[in-house]
Amino acid sequence: MNICAAVENLVLYGIKNGLCATEDRVYSRNRLLRELKIDTYIPCDGETGADIPLEYLLKTLLDYAAAQGIIGDSVVERDLFDSKLMDCLMPRPSEVIARFRAEYAVSPERATDYYYAFSRATDYIRTYRVAKDLKWVTQTPYGGIDITVNLSKPEKDPTAIAAARKAQSGDVKYPACMLCLENEGYAGRLDHPARDNHRIIPLKLCGDDWMLQYSPYVYYNEHCILFDTKHVPMSVDRAAIDKLLDFITLVPHYFVGSNTDLPIVGGSILTHEHFQGGRYEFAMAKAPVEKEISFPGFDDVRAGTVRWPMSVIRLAGADRVRIADLAEKIMTAWRTYTDESAFIFGVTDDGVRHSTVTPIARRRGADYELDIVLRNNITTDECPDGLYHAHPQYHHLKKENIGLIEVMGLAVLPSRLNTELAELRDVMLSGGDLRGSEAIAKHADWAEMILNKYPRLDKDNIEGVLHDEVGYVFTSILENCGVFKRDEAGVAAFDRFINTLT
């Protein structure tokens, strides 16, 4: 396909997907020609009109730009430039907001359906990349655990995440982080992704100004992010709980949750207040209450511990204020709670706080449901990355923080596993040296355990076995993260904490 045909087909793609109108055809074409530094356009009607994949059209234009020296041919520079090309087709933020509000006036579901389809059509969500992620479900005693090997986002080390939080103000660039509202329309740079094709939706949460967008990585269906318009650090407090419950009042078909506000047990961005939500039911949401709790003065709130590898208290009822009141009581107690026999230290002698929570809110018909996951980031000599974190024997598969998404039962594993598991499979089948390759030597002990466990591995069953065993490791990681273990001593320790509240 010649370059003019690619330009025209991209414009037609924009019209077909509602990014621009038929009346914008010439204008959009000329904006693309300007970015591509093309002075002469040759009509090519005979090569347009076909339903050509967006990925192919963008590749044609990016190949041309690289060949002409307009951009370098690196993945980063191509990503920066294709966002600029897509912006040539797109409406201004005010138009997107107006459309969202018009759809919301019909129903919240109509509004999110429109905005999600728009975010995919603009290539802000690179659907053709996300589709390459490896995904499967492993059945465990806690239900079906979702496993993904992420092929579109780099793995982050907990130490690097903690260092980002401590960055001095002089180190902050514009935009201050990847969540700031200043990203909307930002051209990007080599160390910051382009957001030319990004549009965000303003909304009020408990009277405060927040923004709604979708994650470009969509780890699950309609994976959205809500963030404060101000660049302020994460804080899981009563105000955060109120905002979570307010959001599911506004958008009742979505769940929403917050990462913690502490390193190790938090998400990858601690420097900007934000939540994550979407339209998906995780294994934790399906997990039943296994032991009911009666909190004095809260007869109108149903409560209990959840059958889950981590330590979860679930609250449910029709009155969101009462749920928030009880949640505040639990969070306040947990932050300072100490039980030396269970190695729980809310605050250590040096005054450092270690305890926090991961809260997740959802609707059940007219009722509200709030899961409070107890977290603690204390470290030991044996577990320098965190006692209630993935233990060292599992770092060959997962070292990154266990944040909100994984707490709920969806593993986001690093892209390196795509090639490492394939190489490991081949070596295991051939009887080769599991420690002979640097890439898979880290998996050798695990692989030997699998070979002993499954003496009849062959090419037809090994992939399923490896997938299941990855899922079992992730389940063990979640158990590592549980502050109260699910053995007799752990259950008794959990009861001791609950008894301080009742």
Burial of 67 (0-12, 13-18, 19+ CB in 10 A): exposed
- pLDDT number for residue 168: 38
Query: Tell me: the pLDDT tens digits for 414-445?
Result: 999 999 999 999 999 999 999 999 999 999 99
Tell me the percentage of the chain whose pLDDT exceeds 70.
Answer: 95
Question: Does the pLDDT at position 154 exceed 50?
Answer: no
DSSP 62-85: HHHHHHTTSS-SSHHHHHHHHHHH
What was the pLDDT predicted at 48?
Answer: 62
Q: Could you report the per-residue pLDDT of 293-305, keeping only the tens digit for each?
A: 999 999 999 999 9
**Average pLDDT of the segment spanning 59-71:** 97
Written as six digits, the tokens of 269 are: 């961005």
pLDDT of 224 > 90? The answer is yes
pLDDT of residue 405: 97
pLDDT at 160 over 50: no
- Partners of 210 in beta bridges: 203, 228
Mean pLDDT of the chain: 94
- Check whether the bond before 175 is cis (ω within 30° of 0): yes
CA angle 363, 202, 255 (to 5 degrees): 15
Q: In this model, does residue 46 exceed pLDDT 60?
A: no
Q: pLDDT by residue (tens digit) across 269-291?
A: 899 999 999 999 999 999 999 99
The whole-model pTM stands at 0.93
**Residue 323 pLDDT > 60:** yes
On the question of pLDDT at 162 being above 90, the answer is no
pLDDT of residue 166: 55
pLDDT on residue 445: 97
Say how far apart CA 424 and CA 439 lie, in whole Å: 9
> 157-161, 224-228, 277-281 — which is least confidently predicted?
157-161
The whole-number pLDDT of residue 1 equals: 80
Q: 333-342, pLDDT tens digit by residue?
A: 999 999 999 9
SS (H, E, C) 465-484: HHHHHHHHHHHHHHHHHCCC
Paired residues of 363 in beta bridges: 368
Helices (H), 237-282: 238-250
Q: Long-range pairs for 429-433 at CB < 8 Å and ≥24 separation?
A: 429/457, 429/458, 429/459, 429/462
Tell me: pLDDT of 155 over 50: no
pLDDT of the residue at 266: 81
Q: pLDDT tens-digit profile of 360-386?
A: 999 999 999 999 999 999 999 999 999
Predicted confidence at residue 51, as pLDDT, reads 83
What value does the mean pLDDT take over residues 174-195?
A: 94
Contact (CB, 8 A) for 177 and 272: yes
pLDDT at 49: 62
Q: Is residue 466 pLDDT above 80, yes or no?
A: yes
Q: Residue 104: pLDDT above 50?
A: yes
- The Cα 146–Cα 139 span in angstroms is 9
- The DSSP code for 90 is P
Mean pLDDT of 32-38: 97
